[in-house]
Structure formats: C-alpha cells, structure tokens
Amino acid sequence: MEGISEINEGGVRLIIPSDPLRKKAFYNPSASLSRDMTVLFIKALGEKELEVCDSLAGTGARSVRILKETGKVSRVWIVERSHEAVDFIHHNLKVNGLANRAYVFEMDANVFLYQHAGFFDFVDMDPFGSPIYYLEGAVRAAKRKAYISVTATDQKALMGFSPRTTMRRYGIRAIKTDMKHEIGLRNLISTIAFAAARYEYVFIPMISFHHIHYYRVIGKLEKRHAYTGDYLKENTGIIHYCPYCLDREMSQSFAGKCYCGREFRSIYPTWIGPMHDKNHVLKMLALVDTTPVHNPEEVKKLLKIISRETNTLPYNIHEIASHYKLIVPPRKYLLKNLPDSSAVHHMPYGVKTSARLENVLKAINQFVENQEKSISDNEDR
Ligand SMILES: C[S@@+](CC[C@H](N)C(=O)[O-])C[C@H]1O[C@@H](n2cnc3c(N)ncnc32)[C@H](O)[C@@H]1O
Ligand SMILES: [Zn+2]
C-alpha cells in the first residue's frame, strides 16, 4: 500500500511510513540503537511492573519494543500530537498483539505531562532538537523515585559550537573545544539535574552516550528536598580549557593558570560528577545475548567501553601530538601510563585521564625516549 511498509526491529514487527507519509509520521531506522539501549536499561532494573510514558512517540516503535522486550512493563502511556503518527501507533500495537496494554493520547506532550503529575515510573523524551521544552513536564510527571530518559539532537548548541544558543537555551557559558561530545553530554546532564532540582529531585545519570546524530542520557530521579542543593554543589562545576596549549581541567571552583600560563576559558555550570552507573551498564551488557537487540555487536562494544570510562576529561591524542609536533604513541601505552585512564566511547583516538596536559606530554615524550633507546640498543648489538 502507498505510504506504508513493514520491517522487523529487535523483537517486534513495525508498520512504518514511506513517502508521502514519512513527513507526517516519524520513524528513524538509525535510532534503533537508542531503542535497544532503552529496552536493555529497563530490563536491567530490579523493579517490576513499571508504568511508562513515551511522551514524544513518533510511530510508537519505542513503546512497542518496551512492552514486548523488557518483561518489566505492563502498560505504556503513549503521547504523540501528529494524527498520522497516531494511526501508525495503533497499527503497531495491534500487529504485535499489544493493543490492550497501551493508552494512546493524540495531544501535546507538555499538556499531558502536566496533567499527570507524580504518575510515572519512567518517562521517555525523544524530541526533534532540544529536550529543554519538555524537561520540566517530564520531571513533574515522575513519581518520588522514577527514571527519565532524554534524547537531544541539538548537538551544536550542547557542545558549545554555537555559544550564544548554548547560553540562551541552556543558561550555560560554553566555548568550542576538541572534546565536543564530552562537553555536549555533560551540559545535557547538568541541564536535566537543574530541572530536576527545581522540583526537589536529585538526578543520578546511569548511562550517557553519544551516537551518530544524538545524545542520550538515562538516569534516576529521587525526591530529596533540601539535599538537592548540596547534590548540585558536589556534582556541577566548571570545565577549564585552554585553546592555545590544549590543557584542560574539571573542578568545582575557578582554577589557576593553564600549562602555557594563560587564563583558562571556562564552561559552566556543567556536570562534573559521574556520567554512568557502571553496575547498571554491566547489567545491561550481560542481557544483550538474551534480548532481541537489533544491533547486538554495536551495542556490546558501546556498553563495554562505557562500563570502563573514568570520570575524567578526554584528550584527543592525534590532536595533542599534531599540536606539539610529536609522534602519536599507541593509545595502549598512554592508557597504561596515565592515571585514572580509560578509552572514550565518543572519541576513537581519545584517552580519558585525570592527568593535566603537562603529564600527558611527559608520557608521550617518555614513549619517544623509550623508542629511541630501543633503536640505539638494537643498533649496538
Ligand atoms: C524524534 S520523534 C520520536 C521518535 C520515537 N520516540 C521513536 O523512537 O521512534 C519526535 C516526535 O515528537 C512529536 N512531537 C513533537 N512535538 C510534540 C509535542 N509538543 N507533543 C507531542 N508530540 C510532539 C513529533 O510529531 C514526532 O513524532
Ligand atoms: Zn594554555
């Protein structure tokens, strides 16, 4: 039939729009990994029988997968304002035998969320562009202890490549850096945490990742009243960056000088606390083989790297080596020789470490010296 095709994604069958309906009803195959992660996240939770709201549902792919694949959700409240998309949602529920486990609302997400204050265990928000316009509604719709998952596709604003937009949309002072997705994710987490704190919740990020065109952060909300202020004080702060020497640092207060002696440029207020709950990420990883994940190998690779990421800032080794005209050492060498180090899921040549630039350069120079020594030892033999 014109405007409709059928596909399989994960463990479900989906009726999806093709031209000319594609403009009015949304389905994006490249977000299947985001849906995989949502399913694994919910499946890995201890809780049973969660009440879930899919607040910007498109054609319902995420809701249908949550209902069919997690084994933790008996009912989903599905909200979407496009009439054409809502038709697809009904078809997709029916095709998968789920029509009696969902309530579908053709209405504005914010109106729905504000009408359902304190109602949900899990609120998913997957907008076009920025989630800022729905965040408060999502927090208000959460129970005293709940989970929230947030997608953002306005990467340019979040990573500070369009600082005026970052300021007016997020209230964050930002600059362009060579660790754009780290900044984007930390800015998104702090935005969620500040929105949560306005309603006396703490927001604890449990997994935060970048994939192709979007950021996604999923975490826990807990009503903690006055403690939320202390929590923000501990977990938000400033990222310092020097565009001249590429030194960087993350702290709760204003730092001194960078490696080259200039003033640091600052990004603030942003998230400096942990971005993942490693135990939860490992639980998700352990479930991949027994869940109908659509992208199993990619998801495993991503979860493995994320489970090892340290709460530090990344250096792009190629960038540093080219800036200082040094040879690029193997990443393995730096991972072994720098403190609190790990690979980085969003930067193929990145190394996360608590070391300041001075010590990163020392480690690179040490590698060069070792190389030269072993060459001259070989020549002497
Ligand atoms: C990126 S799509 C969602 C995709 C879906 N979550 C998935 O995984 O396939 C965003 C959806 O939000 C809908 N939308 C945008 N603004 C809305 C609003 N204010 N209230 C309800 N739905 C809205 C759009 O029609 C679109 O279908
Ligand atoms: Zn400097």
φ/ψ (deg, to 5) at 377: -60, -45
Q: In one letter, which amino acid is 363?
A: A
Which of 56, 93, 108, 112 for a ligand 1 pocket mutation test, highest count of atoms within 8 Å of Cβ?
56
The protein residue with its alpha carbon nearest to ligand 1, atom 2, reads: 58
Report the alpha-carbon distance of residue 182 to residue 73 in Å, rounded: 32
**pLDDT on residue 255:** 77
Q: 376 pLDDT band (50/70/90 cuts)?
A: confident
CA 242 – ligand 2 centroid, Å: 5
pTM for the whole thing? 0.97
**Total tally of structural domains belonging to the chain:** 2
**Does residue 131 share a domain with residue 203?**
yes
At 152, is the secondary structure helix, strand, or coil? strand
**Does residue 376 share a domain with residue 247?**
no
Choosing from 245, 271, 306, the residue where a domain stops is 306
Q: If residue 208 lies in a helix (H) or strand (E), which one and from where to where?
A: strand 201-211
Choosing from 273, 306, 339, the residue where a domain stops is 306
The CATH code of the domain that includes 372 is: 3.30.56.70
**pLDDT on residue 377:** 76
Answer yes or no: is pLDDT of 338 > 70: yes
**pLDDT on residue 45:** 96
**Does residue 136 share a domain with residue 28?**
yes
Which of 7, 76, 79, 80 for a ligand 1 pocket mutation test, highest count of atoms within 8 Å of Cβ?
80
**pLDDT on residue 381:** 67
Question: What value does the CA radius of gyration of the chain take, rounded to a whole number of Å?
Answer: 23
Choosing from 284, 306, 328, the residue where a domain stops is 306
Answer yes or no: is pLDDT of 192 > 90: yes
**pLDDT on residue 241:** 97
Q: 340 pLDDT band (50/70/90 cuts)?
A: very high
Residues above pLDDT 90, as percent of the chain: 91
Residue (of 326, 280, 336, 271) closest to 303 by Cα position? 280
CA 357 – ligand 2 centroid, Å: 9
Answer yes or no: is pLDDT of 77 > 80: yes
Answer yes or no: is pLDDT of 380 > 90: no
Answer yes or no: is pLDDT of 1 > 90: no
Q: Other CB atoms closer than 10 Å to residue 29's CB: what's the count?
A: 11
The protein residue with its alpha carbon nearest to ligand 1, atom 25, reads: 82
Residues above pLDDT 70, as percent of the chain: 99
CA 131 – ligand 1 centroid, Å: 11
Q: In this predicted model, what pLDDT tens digit does every residue of 217-262 receive, in sequence order?
A: 999 999 999 999 999 999 999 999 999 999 999 999 887 899 999 9
**Does residue 355 share a domain with residue 213?**
no
DSSP secondary structure letters along 298-365? HHHHHHHHHHH--SSEEEEHHHHHHHTT-----HHHHHHHSTT-B--TT-TTEEEES--HHHHHHHHH
Q: Identify whether 269 is preceded by a cis peptide bond (ω within 30 of 0).
A: yes
Report the alpha-carbon distance of residue 25 to residue 342 in Å, rounded: 41
Which of 64, 81, 133, 150 for a ligand 1 pocket mutation test, highest count of atoms within 8 Å of Cβ?
81
Q: 312 pLDDT band (50/70/90 cuts)?
A: very high
Q: What is the mean pLDDT of the chain?
A: 96
**Does residue 244 share a domain with residue 123?**
yes
Report the alpha-carbon distance of residue 218 to residue 84 in Å, rounded: 28
**Does residue 372 share a domain with residue 293?**
no
CA 206 – ligand 1 centroid, Å: 24
**Does residue 245 share a domain with residue 119?**
yes
Q: In this predicted model, what pLDDT tens digit does every residue of 129-145 receive, in sequence order?
A: 999 999 999 999 999 99
Which residues form ligand 1's pocket by a CB distance below 6 Å? 26-27, 31, 35, 56-58, 61-62, 79-82, 85, 108-109, 126-128
Q: Which residue has the higher pLDDT, 381 or 187?
A: 187
Measured from the alpha carbon of residue 65, the closest ligand is 1
Q: In one letter, which amino acid is 36?
A: D
Residues forming beta bridges with residue 150, ordered by sequence position: 125, 217
Q: 23 pLDDT band (50/70/90 cuts)?
A: confident
**Does residue 281 share a domain with residue 238?**
yes
Domain containing residue 169: 4-306
The protein residue with its alpha carbon nearest to ligand 1, atom 4, reads: 58
Q: If residue 378 lies in a helix (H) or strand (E), which one and from where to where?
A: helix 357-380
Angle at 289 between CA 287 and CA 294, to 5 degrees: 95
**Does residue 374 share a domain with residue 285?**
no
Q: 88 pLDDT band (50/70/90 cuts)?
A: very high
The CATH code of the domain that includes 276 is: 3.40.50.150
**Does residue 256 share a domain with residue 177?**
yes
**Does residue 195 share a domain with residue 285?**
yes
Measured from the alpha carbon of residue 246, the closest ligand is 2
**pLDDT on residue 162:** 97
Q: In this predicted model, what pLDDT tens digit does every residue of 113-122 receive, in sequence order?
A: 999 999 999 9
Residue (of 69, 159, 55) closest to 111 by Cα position? 55
The protein residue with its alpha carbon nearest to ligand 1, atom 13, reads: 56
**Does residue 157 share a domain with residue 86?**
yes
